[in-house]
Amino acid sequence: MNESLRPMPVATDATRPFWDAASRHTLVIQRCSHCGRQQFPPRSFCHYCMSTEVTWQECSGRGTVYTFTVNYRAANAHMANRTPYVVAVISLDEGVRMFTNIVESSPDAVCLGARVEVCWLDTPGLPTLPQFRLLPSGTSPAIRHGEQR
């Protein structure tokens, strides 16, 4: 597939440590040294207490599916031959949420509350994107895509 068609992130000074860590296959979020709170997306200061003493915390890379959708129409040329694909919001075990794709499984296998772990999409010359895949065990009782109670 042609990754050059994918709309890719462009880092700023504040977010560059996140993308640099991603290139090393490490997922990091910001933690404020002053008030101890976490924030995502990254900012140049803590938006809770305004402190500039924000540090980077390495995450376990694990989380649960908060919610998701399955796209049958592509949002861009890159996704055109990947439909249907899953876009999800993940609650990381460390406490923040992020948007992602859930890959390496059928969309039908994805459900709310499912356990996931980070995996990495490397593209030469472009930022490494964090994606997620389902963890094999512990499927939740939540409904699956398209299923009705």
Partner 1 sequence: MSVNDFPSGDYAIVGVAESDLGKVPGKTALELQGQAARLALIDAGLTLADVDGVFAHTDDRFSSLQLAEYLGLRPRFTDTSNVGGMSNVMHVRHAMAAIQAGLCDVALISYGSTQLTDGSRKLTGLTEDPRSPRGQFVVPYGQLSPIGYYAMVAQLHMSRWGTPLDALAEVAVAARQWANLNPKAYRQGPLSIDDVMASPIVAAPLRQRDCCLVTDGGGAFVLTRADRARDLRKPPVFVKGIAESFSHHYTPLELEDWLDTNVAETADAAFRMAGLSRADIDVVQIYDHFTIGVLQSLEELGFCERGSSGEFVKGGRLGPDGSFPINTSGGGLSYGHPGMFGIFLIIEAVRQLRRECGERQLPHARNALCHAPGLVFSANSTLILGVDT
Amino acid at 107: P
67 binds partner 1 (CB under 8 A): yes
| CA separation, residue 147 to residues 75, 108, 109, 142 (Å) | 24, 9, 11, 10
Among 12, 55, 60, 106, binds partner 1 (CB under 8 A): 12
- Considering the complex, state which of residue 15 and residue 139 has its C-beta at the smaller distance from partner 1: 15
69 binds partner 1 (CB under 8 A): yes
- Considering the complex, state which of residue 45 and residue 85 has its C-beta at the smaller distance from partner 1: 85
Write down the least CB distance from residue 147 to partner 1, Å.
Answer: 9
Report CA 11 to chain centroid distance, whole Å.
16
Residue labelled with tokens 């709309």: 7
119 binds partner 1 (CB under 8 A): no
- Copy the structure tokens of residue 61: 């890379």
Per-position x/- string for 99-118, each x denoting binding to partner 1 as judged by CB under 8 A, each - no binding = xxx-----x---xx------
Can you tell me the distance from the alpha carbon of 93 to that of 22, in angstroms, rounded to the nearest whole number?
Answer: 18
56 binds partner 1 (CB under 8 A): no
Amino acid at 115: R
Burial of 138 from C-beta contacts in 10 A (0-12 / 13-18 / 19+): exposed
Which residues contact partner 1 (rule: CB under 8 A)? 6-12, 15, 40-41, 66-76, 78-79, 82, 84-85, 87, 89, 96-101, 107, 111-112, 129, 142-143, 145-146, 148-149
